[in-house]
Structures are given as C-alpha cells and as structure tokens.
Amino acid sequence: MELPEFAPGLTARVELTVTDADTAQSLGSGDVPVLATPRVLALAEAATVAATARQMPGGVTTVGVRAEVEHRAPTAVGHTVTALATLAKVDGRKLLFEVIVREGETLVAEVRVERMLLDRQRFIARALGDL
C-alpha cells in the first residue's frame, strides 16, 4: 500500500444546522434540547475526512482512533455550526487534527482527532473476520 503524503496545514470546513435529531435528548447523551456532544464529535470527524478526501488514493482510507472533545457552549435547534479541521501533525500513518467548532463568533467546541491511514479492503476483511 502506497501512502499519500499529507502536509500540516491542510484544512476543510463542514457545516451543520442543528435539528431535533442532533440534540442530547435525541441521542441519549443528556436531557436538554441542544447540540449533543456525540454529534459535535461526528461533525469534527466529518471535517477531518473532508480534509483528506481530495488527496486520498483509491484503496486507502483513514479511520478515527482517538478523539478529545471540549464542548464549551450550547447550540440551539435551528442554529448553524461550522467545524474547521486543520491537519496539525503527520507521524507516519497517524494524522493529528485540530478542529474548531463555531456558531458565528461563538466557540462551541475544540476537538482533537487522530486518524490512521490504512488499506481499506484489508481493514474491512479484518472487521469481518476474514483475516
């Protein structure tokens, strides 16, 4: 498997308009009708995937292996948040991202995501018990 070369500084941005399905009440992570922390993490991961997608060769993918979330402010249903992922460090097959999630000027969350480059088919085969 030939690995792509990613350079620190690579970025991508994704947006989410919060719906009832994105709330802590809906996801079971709390009892309030605001953006749930698990949904913040999923949005941050989506931004990291988007950052590498344009340069990812066929047969190679990344999977999340570690994350740290600091959820700092609530976001109400109907409001839009934006996640900006920046590749901070490359260490062999490890890609370390810093993600900032904002609602306008308000800092909603800071997320650190570590992703691992790997062979897609081999990973799927291993997950299915074929290896």
CATH of the domain at 47: 3.10.129.10
Let me know if residue 42 belongs to a domain.
yes
Cα 102-109-39 angle, rounded to 5 deg: 95
Looking at residue 70, what is its pLDDT?
98
Tell which residue, 82, 85, 80, has the closest CA to residue 99: 85
Domain total in the chain: 1
Tell which residue, 41, 32, 33, 38, has the closest CA to residue 14: 41
Looking at residue 107, what is its pLDDT?
98
Split the chain (131 residues) into runs of 10 and give each run's mean pLDDT.
Answer: 84 98 97 98 98 91 97 98 98 96 98 96 91 63
Let me know if residue 43 belongs to a domain.
yes
Let me know if residue 92 belongs to a domain.
yes
Rg from Cα positions in the chain = 16
Domain span at residue 18?
11-127
